[in-house]
Amino acid sequence: MKQVLIFVESHSLQEYLCGKLEENGVAANTAINILDASTKMRKIVPDLIIVDPPENDLDFMKLLKQKKLDANTVNIPVILFARRLAQKQLLELVPYNVKKVFNKPLRVDALFTAISRILKIPFSIDTSPGIVEVHVNESIISIEIAQGINIDKLEILRYKISELINLYKIRIPKVVIILSDIKLTFTDAPLLQKLLYIVLDVHKVKTAHVAIITNDEFVRLYVNGEKKYANIKMPATLSEAMDRFRVIGSVRAEEAEEKAERLGDLILKAKTSENEEALFLKFDSEEKKAMLGLMADSLQNIRIAVVDDDFVIQELIKNTFEKTNAFVYTFSDGDEFLKVVDEHEFDLAFLDMNMPGIGGLGVLRAIRAKNVPYPIIAVTSVSDRDTMVRAIELGVKSYLLKPIKPEEIFMKSMEILKSNF
């Protein structure tokens, strides 16, 4: 039996890789740190090592150097995951038998094609068309599926939803499923059933908290014909779905209520009234400290564009990333940003939807024509719902509502930049 050693940072990615490998008759071994990986590499002598090192953590090079110095492990092929590597860094990996470097978010079809070639065994991969995008906006999980329902990408969806629920600490998940450019028939019923199973059963979402937006008649017939899906709503537009969940205004109140409940639980555990005040301060400071530490580890050397005519917003976003060693570039209007869009490569951009001159929608149309690859986070006001919906139609997957807070900027950036799938 072929053996693969997996050393990855994300538990959900690790779980997915192990499941997929074992499903295809490959023994999957996991490592929790460099020392563990080094020990297991020498003991198992696997046929392949898959490494997803923590951002900007060069300790993984120790593992590669140890592998090269050992006659038993020197020829083990390596697959590496990375956010972004320069050409020079790629060349430095060649002597360590790194066969493939995959950028994240991963294209799992390409990944398992590479694993299949290295291990010289076939893998069952669904190559049918299918695009799956998952994001959280205002505590609503938005799942967009286009071109078809791909079985392997449904499996990824299972883990992606888990990642986002954990990141945002969502206690009561609400889900909007958007099926676009899809034509299903009765033979596709098991795929549709699996999609709903992942949302409703795996992640314990109530049917009353699910909305499906689709033009496909079979989907409507199928959902309406099953009693267990009776509470699922099928609005005609995204705007109606947002109204369904009272996205504007009430979600923030719900979040505040949930946070108060968590704090209340902690306070009840305190023994004296003196401890209560200290507990509030400790909880708040530790939470912020943990956030800052996670940002500093994950966002170093990230290039961020902020396109906003509001100087206060510019400074707020700059200050949010101040201690992370990220590079933040500010632009006061759409024209200024579009002049450099061909010259500078960014990892992420915050784009105000309401600016004088070329507004946010105009910028989105322009960069869409240029096939700009990096993700855009739209920034808009609570009252300007129509602009927000049009931004989503132009390809924006995530947005923030003004007034924005540093922790919201952080969470949204982590969602986008730390995405594995």
Q: Encode pLDDT of 229-241 as tens digits.
A: 999 999 988 878 8
pLDDT band at 257 (very low <50, low <70, confident <90, very high): very low
3-119 and 294-417, same CATH topology: yes
pLDDT score, position 87: 60
pLDDT score, position 46: 98
pLDDT in tens, 285-333: 455 555 555 555 566 778 999 999 999 999 999 998 887 888 999 999 9
Q: Give the relative orientation of helices 151-168 and 11-23 as an angle to the nearest 10 degrees.
A: 160
Using only C-alpha atoms, the chain has a radius of gyration, in whole angstroms, of 23
pLDDT band at 276 (very low <50, low <70, confident <90, very high): very low
Residue 213, pLDDT > 90, answer: yes
Cα atoms in the Cβ-side hemisphere of radius 13 Å centred on 106 = 28
41 or 125: which carries more pLDDT confidence?
Answer: 41
pLDDT score, position 248: 38
Residue 138, pLDDT > 90, answer: no
Interval 336-352 mean pLDDT: 93
Domain boundaries 3-119, corresponding CATH code:
3.40.50.2300
pLDDT score, position 293: 56
pLDDT band at 260 (very low <50, low <70, confident <90, very high): very low
pLDDT in tens, 52-69: 976 555 678 889 999 999
Q: Where are the domains of the chain?
A: 3-119, 131-248, 294-417
Residue 396, pLDDT > 50, answer: yes
Least confident of 84-93, 197-206, 300-309: 84-93
Interval 207-228 mean pLDDT: 95
Alpha-carbon separation of residue 261 from 18, 171, 251 (angstroms): 37, 11, 15
* Range 326-333, long-range pairs (CB < 8 A, 24+ positions): 326/299, 326/300, 326/301, 326/302, 327/301, 327/302, 327/303, 328/304, 329/303, 329/304, 329/305, 330/305, 330/306, 331/305, 331/306, 331/307, 332/308, 333/307, 333/309, 333/357, 333/358
Strand partners, 78: 49, 98
Q: Where are the alpha helices (DSSP H) in 188-237?
A: 189-197, 217-225
Separation of alpha carbons 370 and 53, rounded Å: 32
Which two three-digit tokens encode residue 204? 């314990």
> Which of 259-263, 272-276, 380-384 shows the highest mean pLDDT?
380-384
Residue 265, pLDDT > 80, answer: no
Separation of alpha carbons 370 and 305, rounded Å: 17
Task: Label each residue of 359-398 as H, E or C.
Answer: CHHHHHHHHHHCCCCCCEEEEEECCCHHHHHHHHHCCCCE
pLDDT score, position 325: 81
Q: Distance of alpha carbon 75 from its chain centroid, rounded?
A: 34
User: What's at 419, amino acid-wise?
Assistant: S
> Which CATH fold would you assign to the domain 131-248?
Transcription Regulator spoIIAA (3.30.750)
Beta pairing, strands 3-8 & 27-30: parallel
Residue 420's contacts (CB-CB under 8 Å, 6 or more residues apart) are 10, 12, 13, 52, 81, 104, 105, 106, 159, 163
Average pLDDT of the residues of the chain: 84
State the CATH class of domain 294-417.
Answer: alpha beta
102 or 55: which carries more pLDDT confidence?
Answer: 102
Tokens 């007034």 locate to 403
